[in-house]
Amino acid sequence: IKKAFIFDLDGVIVDTAKYHYLAWKKIANQLGIEFTLEHNELLKGVSRVRSLDIILELGKVEASQENKNKWLVQKNEDYLSYLVDMNESEILPGVFPILQFLREKQQPIALGSASKNARPILDKTGLLSYFDAIVDGNDVTNAKPDPEVFLMAAKLLKVNPEHSIVFEDSVAGVQAANIAKMISVGIGEGSILHEAKYIFKDFTAIDTDFIEELIRT
Ligand code: G6P
Ligand code: MG
């Protein structure tokens, strides 16, 4: 059976989750809102616009649309400033060998990300050509945990959702994969990603036997 392997981007393929965190923390602190790593888990996998709303809700801050737009621009400029020198060294450990293995096995690969910066990041890290389909924040209207992004990716790869495997570091993304009836693989802390079917601390913990098993079953 042909399987689809769908990867989230931030925090799964590249170590950009920390940059999103730093850029959001700056905005939050500027508004006098406390913003911890624990709060940050709520933002992982969540669109830029929704992320700002969550921060404002946390701080019980009401803001005009004009101010919100200003902060959204500021956040993205700050975030992008961390990416100027980005190269393949920021690919997370173990990711590249798995992508290569999947390609050797001729398995279709897609990106399923909420980010509007996904393509330039894949380009800078030299990974663009590994993806048969890319679905990102420019393509979808409903944010994770809505399964839209992953369903669209599977459709582009012409694979049924039940035969699709999703790698995710966010709670919202794991939920989206589960709602889509896909096989969810959590990358990160088991205590946070406990809804995932499988959990690994990172890609170095995933061996090719596991991938072969996913292809076979
Ligand atoms: C990913 C990240 C989020 C980020 C979102 C939008 O899902 O996990 O932290 O807010 O993408 O990214 P963007 O690059 O469009 O601001
Ligand atoms: Mg992520």
201 annotated binding-site participant? no
Amino acid identity at 176? A
Q: What number does the ligand 1 atom closest to the CA of 21 have?
A: 9
Atom of ligand 1 at shortest range from CA of 75: 16
pLDDT of residue 191: 95
pLDDT in tens, 108-123: 999 999 999 999 999 9
Q: How far is CA 209 from CA 106, 135, 137, 199, in A?
A: 16, 28, 32, 15
Ligand nearest to the CA of 24: 1
Asked if the model's pLDDT at residue 187 lies above 90, the reply is yes
Q: Residues 49-86: pLDDT tens digits?
A: 999 999 999 999 999 999 999 999 999 999 999 999 99
Q: Is 164 annotated as a binding residue?
A: no
209 a known binding residue? no
Q: Which residues are catalytic?
A: 8, 10
Rounded to two decimals, the ipTM of the complex is 0.98
pLDDT at 1: 75
H or E segment at 171?
helix 171-179
Amino acid 46: pLDDT: 92
Pick from 18, 48, 116, 119 the residue to mutate for probing ligand 1's pocket: most ligand atoms within 8 Å of its CB. 48
